[in-house]
Amino acid sequence: MPESVVLDPVDLHILRVLQNDARTTYRDLAAQVGVAPSTCLDRVTRLRRSGVILGQQLRLDPAKLGRGLQALLSVQVRPHRRDLVVPFVERVRELPESLSLFHLTGPEDFLVHVAVAGPGELQRLVLDEFTARREVARLETRLIFQQWQCGPLLPPEAGGDTGGA
């Protein structure tokens, strides 16, 4: 398990602000956090170097790109072996409809978030790209009615619940 990075209240404030708007200028970020712009720049640089900040992402609206129907595909791969899983993952990641892919424990091996133009396109995707593969033993489709972003993601509070028994 990767080692956690020790963050102070200024670091946490920086992360909170940047997760809400990654385009915030260093000057505005420094003003919101209450430090000098040079200090702010040093802190963000340190957070990047330590791997806490992994980068910036551009979020797009799938509906505005003609992909107004989103779904979650629960996929069971059998046999669940590396020689089948690796090509399956590579193929799913290449599909223009795939938004994200999760490898899971439990009865389903993968959860795939997809965005398509409509029901016919979803049916084509399921039949031609998933169930047509020999290693796909089972697939369940769940339509997404609405999605919300959550966060910001911050480390657990000191002395907080660790999830253990």
Please compute, for residue 155, the number of CA atoms within 13 A of its CA located in the half-sphere on the CB side. 15
Q: What is the pTM of this model?
A: 0.83
pLDDT per residue over 125-135, tens digit each?
999 999 999 99
Cα Rg of the chain (Å, integer): 21
For domain 9-49, give the CATH number: 1.10.10.10
pLDDT per residue over 95-119, tens digit each?
999 999 999 999 999 999 999 999 9
What three-state secondary structure class fits 46? Answer: helix
Which CATH architecture fits 62-144? Answer: 2-Layer Sandwich (3.30)
C-alpha 147/C-alpha 19 separation (Å) is: 17
C-beta of residue 155 within 8 angstroms of C-beta of residue 47 = no
Give the model's pLDDT for residue 1.
53
Please compute, for residue 34, the number of CA atoms within 13 A of its CA located in the half-sphere on the CB side. 5
pLDDT per residue over 18-46, tens digit each?
998 999 999 999 999 999 999 999 999 99
Which residues have C-beta within 8 Å of that of residue 142, sequence separation ≥ 6? 71, 72, 73, 74
Task: Supply the mean pLDDT for the chain.
Answer: 93
More confident residue, 67 or 156: 67
